[in-house]
Structure 1
Amino acid sequence: EAVEEHETITVPKTMVAASGEHYALGVKGDSMIDEGIFDGDTVIVRKQSSVENGETAVALINGNEVTLKKIFKEKTRIRLQPANPKLKPLYVKAVVIQGRVISVIRTIDEQETQKKIEEASMSEAKPQKSYFDIEKNTFSPTNHKIIIGDSRNMVELPDKSVHLVITSPPYWQLKDYGSSNQIGFNDSYEDYINNLSLVWKECFRVLNDGCRLCINIGDQFARSVYYGRYKVIPIRTEIIKFCETQGFDYMGAIIWQKATTMNTTGGATIMGSFPYPRNGIIKLDYEFIMIFKKLGEAPSVSRDTKEKSKMSKEEWNQYFVGHWNFNGAKQDKHLAMYPEELPRRLIKMFSFVDDTVLDPFLGSGTTTLAAKNLGRNSVGFEINKE
């Protein structure tokens, strides 16, 4: 449910569209948690009377009830789809679209709640209840392990012990995480790439044959102090080159068009010769999700596990495309933080129930949370105890 609050708030220009009328709504309930929208958050809405299929919108139903859902127009009805696997969709014949959600302001309370959930996931003694088995109407337990250590040497993990790797490595020279062994902040660019390569080498070792490595990273502006000029560094090209040399097959990339509350690329909101032509600089408001496959035959999967892991036709058509459009997570201490929707999609695409998902740069624990919610086990490495 979306509850309107009649008050004026101030938000950064980056959180609203370049044109159009906007308003803010306070959110009540957890129907959109997989879109990174939680109880108590505030959503910024661009007023418009129609949306594309699958977009998150504010809609009026029955003439007096306001709801926040993903909108799907079907042949004879409209489906209001919650972004929460525990909730069922609502079907109506007609709705009045009041606007499209373009950004989210997270609440402090929700950040604390999510932190508690992630801390609870760290317990190894008591497996966490995770996914719902529709046929048996029971939850199945999963295990989640967080290792405070350096993922350049994951000695705690045996060879071929995980089924999927999902991560977003730290950016180069953008954030000091306070650890003497951190990757990125104090490194030269060459050292940064070499240190990342040590992590990808370990990922190759611990990953099962036939399984995937998914790396989320964007291009980055180089600061003029290093190059004497502004230029864009395509970090992904170095990663592709090393991973293929290591033995991975590069399987392509998804372009994630995001809207986030902090610039993670090192550039300003408006750069170049604004408002005059020629020397404007393209805003890096997108990132890449690169997919790599380890050669060999993947572990066998039982018929029962396959059935539990099935994707809907709608999910398949929405996920296995070259472009994803959803909001980024609010950036707090971790600049490389992504919303749960990103690992959730990749986990459903490239793993089965009961598989183990690894994140070598765990950060705030979003990958662990997504794995837990989808009935997968997880292990994460994080060098910063905080």
Structure 2
Amino acid sequence: MSDGYFNCIVTSPPYWGLRDYGVEGQIGAETTVDEYIADLVLLFREARRTLSDDGTLWLNIGDSYTSGGRTWRDADSKNKGRAMGYRAPTPEGLKPKDLIGIPWKLAFALQADGWYLRTDIIWNKPNCQPESVKDRPTRSHEYVFLFSKSEKYYYNWQAVMEPASSLKQESKNRRTVWNITTEPYLGSHFAVYPRALVRLCVIAGSREKGRVLDPFFGTGTTGVVCNELNRDCVGIELNAEYAGLARERLLKGC
């Protein structure tokens, strides 16, 4: 890819230790959190090279808990994608059942590598998946981080304004908590982010006919949204099966 080719990057990398996508060398299956963060920093450093000077990166990332010494995870009737044949050991310095804090570890690492960390966004999921835990609240949110390549960058704030509760105004600048329901996907990919989430990022981060990159394409949600919004999209996917599913979705437009 040539330097400065893309106007915007919208993506959601595999979360550490949560899925096994069956591909050797897959990101997310590293033995340690530090290795996972380092791999993503290198990847996004190269992605930044392909980004225009006024470009932005919209990064959706969720957190993980330590495995507590378990080396595998059984299937869940409510989430078949939870089954895993490997579990990374508890990271050094952490305890069993600790929340790791991966989103902020990654955000600070990317910031240190040269990205401008502009804001964190809470993606609140009103229809979040139930959890069987009884010793903490059910997690119902993930993070979306907005990074920019330069101090000044393209951000169409007017296009993503939200309704105002005041009778004196119809809309207001979008806040940092986005209430967006998850979307079911009938294919074999179990971590598909919703089109409504992607749509806000693409609209705010790119102009019509702009170029968008998703280096973790999955089943092609970013591409489907870009087609709807008249943007060009390039998707990169390691898993051949998911790449095939993405091509099918793009052809069907759904």
When normalised by structure 1's length, the TM-score is 0.50
Alpha-carbon offset, residue 217 of structure 1: 1.1
Alignment check: 8 A CA contact 2:56 2:153 kept: no
Q: 1:271 and 2:138 equivalent?
A: no
Q: 1:251 and 2:122 equivalent?
A: no
Paired residue for 1:363?
218
Alpha-carbon offset, residue 203 of structure 1: 1.8
Alignment check: 8 A CA contact 1:344 1:370 kept: yes
For residues 118 and 60 of structure 2, what CA distance do their matches in structure 1 show?
A: 14
For residues 224 and 18 of structure 2, what CA distance do their matches in structure 1 show?
A: 26
Alpha-carbon offset, residue 259 of structure 1: 4.3
Structure 1 residues 287, 313: CA separation in 2 closer, same or farther (over 3 Å shift)? closer
Q: 1:294 and 2:161 equivalent?
A: no
Q: 1:322 and 2:153 equivalent?
A: no
- What is the DSSP-based 3-state SS (H/G/I as helix, E as strand, rest coil) of the residue aligned with 1:222? coil
Paired residue for 1:107?
none
Alignment check: 8 A CA contact 2:158 2:173 kept: no
Q: 1:211 and 2:78 equivalent?
A: no
Paired residue for 2:197?
342
For residues 29 and 149 of structure 2, what CA distance do their matches in structure 1 show?
A: 30
Paired residue for 1:169?
13
Aligned length: 210
Amino acid at match of 2:8: L
- What is the DSSP-based 3-state SS (H/G/I as helix, E as strand, rest coil) of the residue aligned with 2:121? strand
Structure 1 residues 181, 319: CA separation in 2 closer, same or farther (over 3 Å shift)? farther
Paired residue for 2:34?
190
Point out the more displaced range, 204-213 or 366-375.
204-213
The structure number with the bigger radius of gyration is 1
Richer in helix (by share) = 2
For residues 363 and 192 of structure 1, what CA distance do their matches in structure 2 show?
A: 18
Alignment check: 8 A CA contact 2:160 2:174 kept: no
Alpha-carbon offset, residue 187 of structure 1: 3.4
Amino acid at match of 1:190: D
How do 1:44-55 and structure 2 match up within 5 A? none
For residues 318 and 260 of structure 1, what CA distance do their matches in structure 2 show?
A: 25
Amino acid at match of 2:159: M
Structure 1 unaligned spans of 5+: 1-156, 264-268, 273-279, 300-305
2:105 paired residue among 223, 226, 238: 238
For residues 16 and 158 of structure 2, what CA distance do their matches in structure 1 show?
A: 38
- % identical equivalent positions: 30
Alpha-carbon offset, residue 192 of structure 1: 1.4
> Aligned-pair RMSD on alpha carbons?
2.5
Point out the more displaced range, 215-224 or 317-326.
317-326
Amino acid at match of 1:205: R
Structure 2 unaligned spans of 5+: 70-88, 165-170, 242-254
Paired residue for 1:120?
none
When normalised by structure 2's length, the TM-score is 0.74
Alpha-carbon offset, residue 380 of structure 1: 0.8
For residues 290 and 184 of structure 1, what CA distance do their matches in structure 2 show?
A: 18
Alignment check: 8 A CA contact 2:8 2:205 kept: yes
Paired residue for 1:229?
96
How do 1:27-46 and structure 2 match up within 5 A? none
Alignment check: 8 A CA contact 1:163 1:356 kept: yes
Richer in strand (by share) = 1
C-alpha distance after superposition, 1:96-152 (max 9, x if no partner): xxxxxxxxxxxxxxxxxxxxxxxxxxxxxxxxxxxxxxxxxxxxxxxxxxxxxxxxx
- What is the DSSP-based 3-state SS (H/G/I as helix, E as strand, rest coil) of the residue aligned with 2:116? strand
Q: Between the two structures, name the one with larger relative contact order (CA 8 Å, sep ≥ 6).
A: 2
